[in-house]
Chain A
C-alpha cells in the first residue's frame, strides 16, 4: 500500500512537465465550460442587480411550462428535428452507395470534392444563397417553376414550405460530409465477401443488401445515436438566419427562444431554464438511444 503510493508519487513527479502543459487546457475547459454550467443555476434564481440573487426554486420552470409560446416552440423543435432525421438521414447513406458503384476513380474524386464544399460555408452565407434561390420570383427555382407553368412561390415567407427549406438546405450542406463515414465503412468491407457472393450467384441487389448494407449497420447506428444527442438543437444557426416575421410561429425553436426571450428581452432566468431543460432532454436522449442500440445490436457509442 505504502509502496504503491510512493510509486504513484514518483510517476507524478516524473510527469510534472506534462501536467504543466496540460494545466492551461484544463483551465480553459474549467472557465469556458464548467463555470457556465455552474452559472446555469440562475434558472433557479431571480436575478438581482444589487446584492445576491434570490433562490426561487422551480418558479421559472413553472412559468416556462405554463407558457403557450414555449409549448409551441417545443413542438416546432421536435417537428423540425424529426423532419430532418426522417427525410435527410437516409440521404448520405444512399449517396455513399451510389458513389461506391462508380468505377471511375476520377469521377468519384470530382463528385466528392464538389459535394463536401457546402459543409464549410457559414449559415449566414447559406441563408443568403437560399434566400436568393427561393425568396423572390426572380430566384432560380421560381424561374424553373414558371418555365413549366407553375406560379412562383415565395418559399422563405411561406408557412407551408419554410420547414422544407430547412430540410433541403440541411441536405445541401451535409449530404456529402455525412457520407464520408459511410463511404469509408463501405471501403473497408473485404473484397472476398463480394467474390464469394458472386460465385454463389448473388445478384447486385442481393450483394448490396446482404453485404454492403449489413456491413455498415454499426456505422449507421453510431451516427444515429449522435444525431439523437443533437435532436433538441434542430439547427439553431440555420433557423436563426432563415427565419422572418412571416414564418416565426412555425420555425421558432428552443434555441431561438432562449436568445430572444433570455438575451434580447432580458428574462435571463427564464431563458436559462429553457436552455437547461433542452440540455437535460438531450442527455436523456443520447443515453437512451445508446442503451437501446446496445440491447438491439450490441453496438453502443462507447
Chain B
C-alpha cells in the first residue's frame, strides 16, 4: 500500500474527494458565519447557499451582545467553565496521582469503586433529588460540582501520569518532598500533554453543558449561554426572546435580523472552542487514544 508509485490517478481522486468532503463538513458552520455577517438590507435574501456576506457588518453581533440574556449567558458560561475546570483538574490530578501507585493498599477496591460508575448510574430523577437535598438547586454550584470527577478522564490522566519516570518521584520522596508538592511541582509539570487534554475535555464539557443547567437553574439570570441559545433555537418565540421592550423598539428590523442574530449566537457559542482548538489539537488525539478502556 505504502510502496506503490507516488503519483497515481487514484491518489489524485482520493485527495480531491477528501478535500471536498472536508469542505462539506465545514460548510454548515461557514454558512452560519456568513449569515451572521450579512448586512440588514441583504439578510432577507440570504439563505443556505449564500457564500459571501453582502453588506458586511458586525452590527448583528453588537445587537446580540446587547440582549441581557445573551451577555449574562456568556458571563455565566465563562464563570461556570473556569471554576468548574479548576476543580475538575485539581481533583482528577490528585486521584490519578494516588491511583497510579501500584502498591497502595486497597488500590483495586478504589479502582473498582470508580469503574462501576462508568457503566451504571442512578439517573436523572435521583440526581435531581440529590441536588434538592443538598440545597444546591438554582445555585451555580449545582452545575459546577455535578459529577466533578469524570471516571473516563481520570483513567486518561492516569495513563499520562504513569509515563512519568518512577525514579523522579522516588528521588523527590527521598528528598523529603510532600506528596502534594511532588504532584504539583514534578508530576503535573512533566505531564503538560495530559493536563492539556483533560482540561480541553472538561472545558468543552462545561462550556457545552445545557441540560443540567436547564433542569437545576430556575432563575434565567443564572443561565449559561447554551440554555439561552437552546431557547432561541427551539422555542422560536422571538418577542419573548429579545424582550418586549427591545422588540418594540427594534420592530421590523428585529424581524428580519432574527436569522442573523441566531447565526451570530451559534458563532459566539463556538468561538471559544475554535480559539483553543489549534493549540490543543496535537494533544487531544493522544488523549483519545489513552481513553480507550483497554490496557
Q: Do chains A and B stick together as partners?
A: yes
- CB pair A21 B124 closer than 8 Å: no
A224 at the interface (CB under 8 A from B): no
- CB pair A177 B288 closer than 8 Å: yes
Contact of A25 with B48 at beta-carbon distance under 8 Å, contacts A124-B229, A204-B4 already known: no
Contact of A36 with B121 at beta-carbon distance under 8 Å, contacts A98-B18, A117-B277, A140-B27 already known: yes
List chain B residues, Cβ under 8 A from A158: none
Q: In the complex, A81→B149 CA distance in Å?
A: 28
Contact with A along B103-146 (1 / 0, CB 8 A): 11100001001100101111111111110001000000000011
Q: In the complex, A132→B233 CA distance in Å?
A: 10
- CB pair A143 B15 closer than 8 Å: no
Pick the residue among B18, B28, B101, B148 that contacts A99 (CB under 8 A): B18
Pick the residue among B6, B26, B125 that contacts A42 (CB under 8 A): B125
Contact with B along A2-24 (1 / 0, CB 8 A): 00000010011001011101101
Pick the residue among A138, A140, A176 that contacts B28 (CB under 8 A): A140
Closest to B114 in A: A29
Number of A residues near B (Cβ < 8 Å) is: 99
- CB pair A37 B270 closer than 8 Å: no
Pick the residue among B11, B14, B125, B147 that contacts A262 (CB under 8 A): B125
Q: In the complex, A271→B121 CA distance in Å?
A: 14
Q: In the complex, A268→B26 CA distance in Å?
A: 42
Q: Is the interface of A mostly helix, strand, loop or mixed?
A: helix
- CB pair A111 B179 closer than 8 Å: no
- CB pair B98 A36 closer than 8 Å: no
- CB pair B15 A107 closer than 8 Å: yes
B289 at the interface (CB under 8 A from A): yes
A63 at the interface (CB under 8 A from B): no
Closest to A270 in B: B125
Q: In the complex, A177→B294 CA distance in Å?
A: 18
Q: In the complex, A43→B113 CA distance in Å?
A: 23
B171 at the interface (CB under 8 A from A): no
Our count of residue pairs bridging A and B at CB distance below 8 angstroms stands at 266
B204 at the interface (CB under 8 A from A): yes
B72 at the interface (CB under 8 A from A): no
- CB pair A172 B31 closer than 8 Å: no
- CB pair A180 B285 closer than 8 Å: yes
- CB pair B263 A132 closer than 8 Å: yes
List chain B residues, Cβ under 8 A from A133: 28, 31, 48
List chain A residues, Cβ under 8 A from B292: 181, 222
Contact of A122 with B1 at beta-carbon distance under 8 Å, contacts A15-B101, A132-B263 already known: no
- CB pair A129 B266 closer than 8 Å: yes
Contacts of A245-302 to chain B: CB distance below 8 A: 255, 258-259, 262-263, 268, 271-272, 275-276, 279, 282-283, 286, 301-302
- CB pair A111 B104 closer than 8 Å: no
Q: In the complex, A248→B244 CA distance in Å?
A: 30
List chain B residues, Cβ under 8 A from A184: 289
- CB pair B21 A111 closer than 8 Å: yes
- CB pair A107 B18 closer than 8 Å: yes
A135 → chain B closest CB, angstroms: 10
A261 → chain B closest CB, angstroms: 10
A75 at the interface (CB under 8 A from B): no
- CB pair B233 A128 closer than 8 Å: yes
- CB pair B119 A258 closer than 8 Å: no
List chain B residues, Cβ under 8 A from A34: 117
B25 at the interface (CB under 8 A from A): yes
Q: Which residues of A contact B (CB under 8 A)?
A: 8, 11-12, 15, 17-19, 21-22, 24-26, 28-29, 31-40, 42, 98-104, 107, 110-111, 113-118, 120-125, 127-133, 138-144, 172, 176-177, 180-181, 184, 191, 194-195, 198, 204, 207-208, 211-212, 222, 226, 229, 236-237, 240-241, 255, 258-259, 262-263, 268, 271-272, 275-276, 279, 282-283, 286, 301-302
Q: Which residues of B contact A (CB under 8 A)?
A: 1-4, 6, 10-11, 14-15, 17-19, 21-22, 25-29, 31-32, 35, 47-49, 91-92, 94-95, 97-99, 101, 103-105, 110, 113-114, 117, 119-130, 134, 145-149, 151, 154, 178-180, 183, 204, 207-211, 215, 226, 229-230, 233-234, 262-263, 266, 269-270, 273-274, 277-278, 281, 284-285, 288-289, 292-294
- Cβ contacts A to B, 27 pairs, < 8 Å: A21-B179, A22-B110, A28-B91, A29-B113, A31-B130, A37-B126, A39-B125, A103-B2, A115-B22, A120-B277, A124-B208, A124-B230, A132-B35, A132-B48, A133-B31, A194-B2, A211-B1, A222-B292, A222-B293, A236-B211, A258-B123, A263-B215, A268-B129, A275-B123, A275-B125, A286-B119, A301-B294
